[in-house]
Amino acid sequence: MPEMTAAESDYGSAISLPTSGSCVPARIRPSVLSLIPALFGLLVGTLGATPADAPKPASQDFSRPEDLLSSISRVLKPDWVAFFRQAVPKAPESRAQIAFAIGSIFAEGWLAAHAEDTQHSRNIDKDLLLLAKPLGTHPELIEHSKSLADCAERRNWELLKQELQSAENDLTRALSKNGDPQLASLVQLGKWVRTIEIAAGILHHHYSDLSAGVLNQSLWEKSFSHALVAAIEPIRADEALSPTQPQLSDLHKLLEAQSKSLPTDSQINSLSEAAHAVLLDILSNHK
């Protein structure tokens, strides 16, 4: 189990959420029929996979941070719980830090879903609500919060994943509507950095040529680069985030290098440590 740093503390539970009711999504979901082509493609890919091609994504749709965790789940059965983050070091102060922190918590939500851990999912739900208030997006997450809590309680993990995505989409739309589209880019960047930390940590602890192949593809680097470029202006404008520009650039370079050749165990560990350092610096840096 990864060793926690002194800067990390247990998740709190400042808000109580409903535990009764059915696991009902906040909005109507796509028909199950629409999922059949994707499921069929996954089945064919799994049956025809070889050690050389098993980790490779089947299409260019694999461009979101959570898809990196899904790729890992197809080649490994890790102890997801061992990679839980207990909390951000301190409550962020600036709006930019808060947006970045929310993104990292969304990543934690996907980790909890893979771990099928009810309590961690509920704790994350509470943190999302708390951090949404300073950004003026609390109303957009209320209904999602109820659904997330119910899904976690009833252990409906696939629907919980859908609800996480829907909540993030509504949060992004609310930020844009409120005149803060740049904060939405920081949400996505925070989600990427935390996901990279999780993924690299898992792949380091379960290293093999097969697992290393998950990172040995350009799609993750290109997607992270896109998120970084989109967030560069709000990073430069924020006193707490601006000093981390060199670290974020180094993180991108590490990811890029591993996309070009099969990474070693040491290189993957360096990637995890670099992402961890960025998270600590951004979320503990007070103006």
Q: What is the pLDDT of residues 223-241, one digit of tens each?
A: 999 999 999 999 999 998 9
Residue-level pLDDT at 91: 63
- 78-82 — which CB contacts under 8 Å span 24+ positions? 78/202, 78/205, 78/206, 79/1, 80/111, 80/112, 80/114, 80/115, 80/117, 80/202, 81/115, 81/117, 81/120, 82/1, 82/2, 82/205
Residue-level pLDDT at 31: 42
Q: Which two tokens stand for residue 169?
A: 């989409």
What are the residues whose beta carbons fall under 8 Å from the beta carbon of 274, sequence distance 6 or more? 247, 250, 251, 254
Ranges of the chain with pLDDT below 70: 1-62, 87-91, 285-287
Tally of structural domains, the chain: 1
Terminal Cα distance for the chain, rounded: 33
Torsion angle in degrees (nearest 10) through CA of 152, 156, 157, 160: -70
Please check whether residue 253 lies inside any domain of the structure. Answer: yes
Residue-level pLDDT at 86: 73
Please check whether residue 20 lies inside any domain of the structure. Answer: no
* Structural domain containing residue 268: 66-284
Report which residue type is found at 58: A
Please check whether residue 13 lies inside any domain of the structure. Answer: no
Please check whether residue 44 lies inside any domain of the structure. Answer: no
Report which residue type is found at 3: E
Please check whether residue 172 lies inside any domain of the structure. Answer: yes
Please check whether residue 88 lies inside any domain of the structure. Answer: yes
Please check whether residue 95 lies inside any domain of the structure. Answer: yes
Cα gap 253→109, rounded to integer Å: 27
Residue-level pLDDT at 286: 53
Residue-level pLDDT at 142: 84
Please check whether residue 167 lies inside any domain of the structure. Answer: yes
